[in-house]
Amino acid sequence: MNTAQVDAATGSGRDEVPPAASVVATTLLRGVDLVAAPWKNGGGVTREVAAFPEGAGLDAFVWRVSIADVAQAGPFSRFAGIDRTLVLLSGAGMLLDEEQGPTHKLTQPLDSARFAGETAIDARLVDGATRDFNLMVRRGAATGELEVWRSEGDASAMQHRRLSADVVLLFCASGLLEVTLGDAAAVTLAVDDTLYIEAPEAQACKISGEGALLAIRLHYA
């Protein structure tokens, strides 16, 4: 995984972040560094953003986040014991038909669907290819929550949040945003960039700029 360690107190790059009250262990993952891997069935490509343990295969991860470019309709791969959350990033959207359940409609950017990885799902594209964000969490090993945070670019409406989890991921889904943790220097996120924050404890977080973030909170069992 191509990463750059960020000192939350100074914003400068460094190999390690020493423990201190004013420093949060943070890794900046740039979207331009993500590597595309084609699907075996030729239906699209996936770019892994991050996973735990780092480098874990599809049968061994505790959690995994990725971006998928879906080029054609077809059945989803099944992942037994995995809870999934899918968010539409761009494109006209898709309809996810559960074999014995509802149809999840993702037709507007940032529409989302949650479902069990073992569920038989067939995907139909509304009008051409889509790009999607995928969160997968191994049931019993961890839990994951995903929220959409929007910032409209008005400084008076700057969003103030407080982060508490084992891991927080802030993924820039659109626009150009600045994220400030505590009293640290702001970190700028462009589309597909992710701020990986380890063990924030009631960490103050401010967001400015114009765009949308996907905020993922992960808690280990």
Count how many domains the chain has.
2
Domain range spanning residue 98?
Answer: 34-139
Final residue in a domain of this structure, among 139, 157, 185 = 139
Whole-prediction pTM value?
0.87
CB neighbourhood size of 82 (10 A)? 20
pLDDT at residue number 72: 87
Q: How far, in Å, CA of 116 to CA of 81, rounded?
A: 7
Same domain, 133 and 50: yes
Same domain, 61 and 122: yes
User: Could you tell me the two tokens for 209?
Assistant: 């700029």
- For tokens 């505590």, what's the residue? 182
DSSP symbol at 140: T
In a structure prediction context, what are the per-residue pLDDT tens digits for the chain, which is 221 residues long?
433 333 333 333 333 333 334 457 999 999 999 999 987 666 789 999 999 999 898 899 999 999 999 988 888 889 999 999 999 999 999 999 998 889 999 999 999 999 999 999 999 999 999 999 999 999 999 999 999 998 866 655 678 999 999 999 999 999 999 999 998 999 999 999 999 999 888 899 999 999 999 999 999 99
Query: pLDDT tens-digit profile of 59-89?
Result: 999 999 999 999 888 888 899 999 999 999 9
The enclosing domain of 126 has a CATH number of: 2.60.120.10
Final residue in a domain of this structure, among 107, 139, 171 = 139
The dihedral through the CA atoms of 163, 173, 207, 52 has a sign that is positive
What is the DSSP secondary-structure string of 3-67? -EEEETTT--B-S----BTTB-EEEEE-GGGPPEEE-TTSSEEEEEEEEESTT--TTT-SEEEEE
pLDDT at residue number 24: 74
